[in-house]
A and B are shown apart, each in its own frame.
Chain A
Amino acid sequence: MRNRALTDLVLAGPAALVVILFIFLPVAVVFVLAFTDYQVGARSANWIGIENFATLFGSRQGRNALLNTVVYAGIVIPASVGLGLLVAMGLHRLTDILPRLSAVLRTVYFLPVAATLVAMAVSWQMLLHPSLGLINTWMSVLGLAPQQWLSDRGLVLYTLAAIGIWQSVGYNMVLFLAGLATIPTALYDAAAVDGADRGWSRFWTVTWPMLGPTTLFVVIVTAVNAFRVFETVATMTKGGPAFASDTIVYALYREGFVYFKAGYASAITVVFFLALLLLTALQIMLVERRVHYR
């Protein structure tokens, strides 16, 4: 018996040790640093209690980053889930009629997901350039006023949100396509016989409820990614102009890696970590029971 326990320990031990050393320990360190004024490279730090958290929620800059993130997520989550579903349904039907075209479009929609964002950011910057960019050129052709897409304080967050949507629609589409493929055709037949044979009634009777588990997953993934928005901000706007596109993770980066304020950055990390944990748990608790139909 003791022999077996020893074997188990030998088998599970090293992996557990690695997890503790490289995941739990650093996380614990971050949690501790969050209550200090530690600066990168400093020899000492002071215990300052919840001051870092007070700054995050109390200062104009902290609240601005939080609000920007919420606005961004509030646009990106519904739009990219909705568009992903719409595109998936379109392509799902197109597969029966024009399978080749459907496959090509699928790839096209998936490209933004596969492409590295930093490289794409360069293309976006060129497209969105106020005087040289293609988008403003088209705007003037259409008789619309050119816009400062990335440097107008009132517009920049929405531009980033649009790019965020562009980036995640393809991924959501693939997930929804997989979900659509698992819906039994008999249910559509049943709905047709029962009178829900087209458009909305068919969608509400069969497609939407049957996609429940897929949708839950897609929403969680999209939400986590939206709240984590960073690369587009870092590569295209650096949070500017005047913090108009400052988001929580970018603020984290800024405070920790540009301002060297490790303590404050740790506090942001802790808040962000707990918020995501809470959000995911909430979504699962609230929705899980209602989408798996048990």
Chain B
Amino acid sequence: MKHLLLSAGVVLAASAAAAETEIRVHYAIPTIWAETQEALAEAFMATHPDIKITLDGPAEGYEDGVQRVLREGIAGTAPDVAYVGLNLWRVLEDRGVLQPLDDFLPADPMAAGYTPALLSLGQYEGHQWALGTSASTMVLYVNPDLVEQAGGSMDDFPKDFDGIIELAAKIDALGDTVEGVWIGRHDWRFQSLLGAHGGRPMTEDESDITFDSEAGMTAAGLYKRFAEDAGMSSMSENDARQAFPAGTLGLFFESSSLLKRFEEGSAGNFELAVFGTPVVAEENVYFPTGGSAIVMLTDDAEKQAAAWEYMTFVTGPEGQKVIVETTGYAPANKIVLDDESYLGAYYAANPNAKVGHAQVAAHAGPWYAYPGAEGVAVTDLIAAALVELTEGAAVEATISDLADTLRMQLGMK
């Protein structure tokens, strides 16, 4: 009797699998991703009728999302795959809820469009834990009207930070309500400046802090110079994101992912321009890449196979085309960049987008997440130190102190 029931169960399960495997997908930030996710799921299911994609109700932000995935993990109801912030998958890895992807990757990742730079976004300790699904790096948004009013030239736009500071000071002098330059006092912005100077925040094995190097001092010093030499305001990130499209901020270092929003906000006001972040060092230059990654949580072999199908699709050229066109993020697959048949028309219509995407292709690098329990907490300490720099604190002392504090907090010796 028992035997009979059991075999009946097996038969049922087998036939269900043949018919349909359900993959539950978690994502966050519905304001950006809702439409994209629906489109991706639809396109995937059209070509894979045996797999059913179910989208969980989205989380408000990546942090909430990670919270939820962790909670569901404890309860045993975790989704099968999840989209998480590129800087946050390490939290999940640290808690041991992720499945390594090494066995799933094709023998020649390059052929599938996964360059080493792109793969590096999801690697830790020699294992592949995540695949980038969308990418963004820090670019420089410019209001050409203000540049010209200040006597600058768009054709001869400065290529280095000295020139940018000089120009920003002139724009800032235009009036009380006009700001020259602004950059967020934030871990990711700092890592971007650091990468532009060829520096790294940590050693390869994450055993020590390295942003107190010369590159780090110069990069951090930019904050002080922006404030002191170009009159950078202490306004908040939200304020700046309103000020730029409103036309009261001349130069704005921000994520390439905000292009669509700024273009819409400034429409009819001015025609914004985008430049890459100046590259200072000769070698080792990279830009920490924001955006999202996809991770696998299910430990059921059958589901893993179906989940990998889905992950291959969304990180492949077809899925990437959908993501780029609907979100404005840079793609995380080389094929889609090289083969004009995918996005050629899109770039023709959005020349500004090309700047950011090219920067990703050329210099994508990991957005370093500090290891351990205090990993997220220390990013706020970095932000606080950057605020102090803009308020006149000495660069050497502040950054050295910060590095020492981080070493202590993160348990490095």
- Residues of A at the B interface (CB closer than 8 Å) are 37, 39-43, 125-126, 129-132, 136, 140, 146, 148, 150-153, 237, 239-243, 254-255, 257-261
Contact = CB atoms under 8 A, between A and B. Distances in A.
A130 B239 contact: yes
A43 B380 contact: no
Contacts of A131: 177-179, 233, 235, 239, 243, 246, 248-249
Interface stretch (B10-18, B63-71, B146-154, B274-282): B63-71
Contact of B97 (A37, A41, A132, A140): A41
A261 B178 CA distance: 41
A129 B74 CA distance: 43
B176 A261 contact: no
B71 A40 contact: yes
A261 to B, nearest CB: 6
Which label, helix, strand, loop or mixed, suits the secondary structure of the A interface? Answer: loop
B25 to A, nearest CB: 19
B266 to A, nearest CB: 13
A40 B66 CA distance: 10
B239 A41 contact: no
Contacts of A130: 233, 235, 239, 243
Contacts of A146: 176-177
Contact of B380 (A140, A237, A254, A257): A254
Contacts of B77: none
B96 interface: yes
A73 to B, nearest CB: 23
Contact of B383 (A41, A151, A242, A260): A242
A243 B209 CA distance: 23
A148 B95 contact: no
Contact of A148 (B64, B96, B234, B380): B234
Contacts of B74: 41
Contacts of A40: 67, 70-71
B91 to A, nearest CB: 6
Interface stretch (B217-225, B288-296, B384-392): B384-392
Contact of A242 (B73, B97, B387): B387
Nearest to A126: B242
B377 A151 contact: no
A140 B246 contact: no
Contact of B96 (A43, A239, A243, A257): A43
B377 A255 contact: yes
Contact of B236 (A151, A255, A259): A151
Which label, helix, strand, loop or mixed, suits the secondary structure of the B interface? Answer: helix
B380 A132 contact: no
Nearest to B248: A131
Contacts of A243: 380, 384
Contact of B388 (A151, A242, A258): A242
Contacts of A255: 377
Nearest to A133: B239
A200 B407 CA distance: 61
Interface in B178-196: 178-179, 185
- Range, interface on chain B: 35 or more
Contact of B239 (A43, A140, A150, A153): A150
A132 B391 contact: no
B391 A153 contact: yes
B376 interface: yes
Interface in B46-84: 63-64, 66-67, 69-71, 73-74
B239 A260 contact: no
Contacts of A258: 63, 376
B95 A241 contact: no
A132 B383 contact: no
Nearest to B96: A43
A237 B388 CA distance: 16
Nearest to A154: B391
Nearest to A235: B238
Interface in B230-252: 233-236, 238-239, 242-243, 246, 248-249
A148 B234 CA distance: 7
Most A CB contacts (10 A, CB to CB) among B233, B243, B384 go to B384
A41 B242 contact: no
A203 B362 CA distance: 75
A129 B387 contact: no
A261 B17 CA distance: 40
Contact of A41 (B70, B177, B374): B70
B32 interface: no
Interface string B379-412: 0100111011001000000000000000000000
Nearest to A156: B236
A237 B70 contact: no
B67 to A, nearest CB: 6
A258 B67 CA distance: 8
B373 A39 contact: yes
A237 B236 contact: yes
Contacts of B177: 131-132, 136, 146
A140 B91 CA distance: 47
14 contacts: A41-B91, A129-B242, A131-B239, A132-B177, A136-B177, A242-B185, A242-B385, A242-B387, A255-B377, A259-B373, A259-B374, A260-B373, A261-B374, A261-B377
Contact of B73 (A41, A239, A254, A260): A41
B71 A150 contact: no
Given A131-B179, A132-B243, 11 more contacts: A41-B69, A126-B242, A131-B177, A131-B233, A241-B384, A241-B387, A242-B185, A257-B67, A258-B63, A260-B70, A260-B376
Contact of B235 (A37, A42, A148, A261): A148
Given A150-B236, A261-B373, A132 B67 contact: no
Given A40-B71, A151-B239, A153-B391, A240 B383 contact: yes
Nearest to B91: A260
A43 B387 CA distance: 36
B387 A153 contact: yes
A132 B240 CA distance: 10
